[in-house]
Chain A
Amino acid sequence: MSPKKQKEAIYTRHGSSRLAELAKALAEIMNPEGKAEVMDDLLILDASYANFAGIIAASLFAEFGAEVIKIEPPEGDPARFMTPFGVHVKGTGIPFIMEARNKRYMTLDLKNNNQDRAIFDKLSRKAAVVIETFPPGDMDAWGIGYRQLSEKNPSLVYIAITPYGQYTEQARKFSRMPDADITSQAGSGLPAQMGDVADKGEPYNWPLRAGMWAGWYISGLSATLGATVALFHRQNTGKGQMVDVATMDAYSSMVGIPASIGCTWGKARPRIGVLDFILYPYGHWKCKDGYVAIAAPRDHDFRALLKILKLWEIEDDWRYSSDRIPDILEQATHLHKLIEKETVKYTADELVGMALNYSKKSARSKWRGGGVPIVMRLMTPETAMENKQWHVRKTFQEFHDDALGKFTISANFVKMSESPPRVKWVSCEIGKDNEYVRDKYIKE
């Protein structure tokens, strides 16, 4: 076998012929082409400004077929200029291109122009959803807040995204403070749980930012989810409502763990580096040609891992999961190193193969105790794109846009048999649909 074939053989597993048929049929069924779109009868106005949480919320609606009009001032939303290392395509940053899916682009200066506000007001009567991220109270003062719009359009769902929300004294006090991803992460408790143990020196023992827009993506997703529940209620009763997202809740409300731990422990958790509070082994290890992720936390999984790595002689010391949890850090770190000593002897593919072979035999053997140690090559985003699994599932989509050239985005994040989300176009020039919107929604 050629090296490529060998690799493919490791990362392919076959089920029974019935299941193989089923998977083949499924791939056909899940093809979004020609399928219905859930929200094709809804108009959504995205007036978010310098805030990707709003843009992301709008994108998710657009992927499910809604007509989304992105409203920005004539000089463009500052979100266009947020981009890694300043890399841009003709003046538009990478994140904005990635989220520019299926939207219409219209210029209105809501901050400064009364006439533009009147146009927005007119548009909003036909809209199902409005999204905005201005300081709380600003839209209201301009006469186009939820209070005013809902009078003329009682079925309107109005999403507001700000750091501290629309009510409470805190919201009032911090009303002029704008939003950013890193402050959302910090203020909702994510960095406090990431980073190295206390004695590893600065800055490694500092709280660490997630290397992605965790705050903004969680807030955007929460906004769309909340608003879709509101739209379902609207479908049943005709009533609209306001959806208020505080980005300082993003992480803490998503996982819920910090609040309950703070209550039952009466103190904060320390940072424990690469270890996990509950499961061990559950993390990544060095190997000959990179890193592997290993998850073998249940006792029988762990025994299997020890056999695979030829470490059976240490089994006695680490038999139960209560022996392996890192409540005594030195002890857990010691075990971590014992495992690393073995993993560096093999390549990632070898380790993956060894674990799979063991699991396959173990499933059929009463002597091996059914352990399923999971070992997988650690990917970077760049190598993940090349995985055949995602080609088959069409996870990444390449676009040729006249203005933006050629690029790839991650799309099709969920497969649905009747009404799947999809990306149809990505063009996003400022004001490109001014006429379209005027003809379709404003002219009477």
Chain B
Amino acid sequence: MEDYFSYAEKLFAPAEANQKPEALKGIRVLDFSHVIFGPVAARILADYGAEVIKLELPFFGDLWRPATYWGKYWKHSNPIWHNITKNKYFLSVNLKLEKSKELIYKMAETADVVIENFAPGTAEAWKIGYTQISKINPRIIFLSCSTYGQYGPMRFFPGWDLLAQAASGVLSLNGYPDTDKFYKLPDYLGDFVPGNFGALSIMMALYYRKKTGKGQYIDLAQSEALMRLLFNYTYHSVTGGAIGRTGNVDPTMVPAAIFKTADEKHVALACTTHEQFKSLLSAMGKENLLEDDRFTNNFERLKPENAKFLNDIVADWIKNKTCAEIIEIAVIASFPAAEVVDDYMICHDKWRRARGSVVLFKDDMYGELVIAGPSAQLSGTPSRTKWLARPLGYHNRIVLKKFLGMSEEEIRSLEKKKVIGTFDDRPGLKPPVYYNLDEDTICNYGKEVCK
């Protein structure tokens, strides 16, 4: 029999992923959403082959286009924005005009999915909500994203990822006990995780539609999505107490914490089973602890005072060893351990590149950029990157002409009436300065372009 790892390598063959079929080919998504929560849900569908048309206001564009870390732009674009909105068609229409609504209604006729994350009630008030769209296309799957949901007394409260973290209680958990040192989850995780829940519920609705022919309305509140990730509520209902903050210690296993090594690095180490606990003890030369009544039983071992005792022993052991030594011992003794990695390491780790979870992408407009690959690799219909984010209104012509069958005159008249538009001079909205848009065949789709 062929060796398992080379069998798996051939099965996934990350280098040939782009030649494999796409699971969502032929699915059309209208993406009215902005910032991160909604756009991420739409992006995931695009990664698997759906045709996602992102709508933005002319000259303003998505609020998140110019929002970059420490104000540092990369080729006049926002480096983190590329990963949030890649593979989409960028259409810029002025929603305030009646003519734009006609355009949207026409697109809705053939669309399968609509995603929006305006403040609840706004899409309805602008007449692009589920009530209107489902009249045009009853098979539509309509996802409304918000912080508190579309009904309930707090539905009109505005929100961001931070507010969902505050409302669910997640924010209060990351930090040290008995201090006021606690922190929000970094990098807008409170948008990204709910965004993935949004993609999941759309996939479920698509699966259901294939079976029954029925579309549906989906109301996703990001606070509720975060609540799905916590067992703190269950703990509270059983004990009446709270788990609270536990610093760098995971209170569900022992030992389990982040430790400092002799070479000033940080390493996470945990034992999930009794077996692993035993092999850690023998690696440390502390087998005698197994005879101690406090540590023979899993539940007994987890009691705060016993757990602290064990974590302290492990900390003492680790501080005299280098990070590489600890990892080497863990591989042999078979218990979980991992170095705390930062941005630079993630970007440059060889195995992530080989796996396809970090990708060096060559883009026609921006050149080379390292972006993250998918969290789950599919052997048959893998997700892939086709292009990065594009300037505001970049795909106006291709969408109107190819997808909506509009004539040159109709497009000209829409441009003249300012129904459709493009970017102004702000970074994040415009193309890189070295890039000549006039020579771009996609942006000028249907026009003569001389290079």
Contact = CB atoms under 8 A, between A and B. Distances in A.
Nearest to A186: B268
B355 A165 contact: yes
A381 B298 CA distance: 26
B69 A209 contact: no
A277 B70 contact: yes
A246 B268 contact: no
B90 interface: no
A177 B337 contact: yes
Nearest to B180: A286
Given A64-B204, A225-B199, A380-B242, A417 B218 contact: yes
A315 interface: no
Interface string B363-386: 000000111111111111100000
A350 to B, nearest CB: 16
Contact of A392 (B151, B234, B238, B304): B151
A243 B377 contact: yes
B434 interface: no
Which of A19, A174, A213: most chain B Cβ within 10 A?
A19
B181 interface: yes
A174 B183 contact: no
Given A36-B208, A87-B239, A204-B176, A193 B187 contact: yes
B347 A185 contact: no
Interface string B227-241: 111111111111100
A233 B382 CA distance: 11
B204 A378 contact: no
Interface residues of A, number: 196
Prevailing SS type, chain A contact patch: mixed
Contact of A293 (B74, B163, B342): B163
A282 B252 contact: no
Contacts of B198: 414
6 contacts: A23-B151, A84-B231, A244-B379, A252-B346, A278-B67, A376-B157
Contacts of A14: 156
Contacts of B67: 278-279
B154 A11 contact: yes
Interface in B261-277: 266-274, 276
Contact of B200 (A24, A82, A224, A255): A224
Contact of A78 (B125, B266, B274): B274
A379 B371 contact: no
Given A191-B340, A376-B167, A249 B11 contact: no
B32 interface: no
Interface stretch (A113-121, A264-272, A306-314): A264-272
A213 B234 CA distance: 14
B148 interface: yes
Contacts, number: 626
A210 B174 contact: yes
A359 B231 CA distance: 35
B258 A209 contact: yes
A357 interface: no
Contacts of B131: 22
Interface string A78-98: 110111111111000111011
A356 to B, nearest CB: 8
Contacts of A384: 167-169, 227, 233
Contacts of A379: 166-169, 172
Contacts of B340: 186-187, 191-192, 207
B5 interface: yes
A257 interface: yes
Interface stretch (A102-110, A136-144, A434-442): A136-144
Interface in A125-173: 136-137, 140-141, 145-147, 163-173
Given A212-B170, A228-B207, A264 B272 contact: no
Nearest to A83: B252
A208 interface: yes
Nearest to A61: B204
Contacts of A89: 238
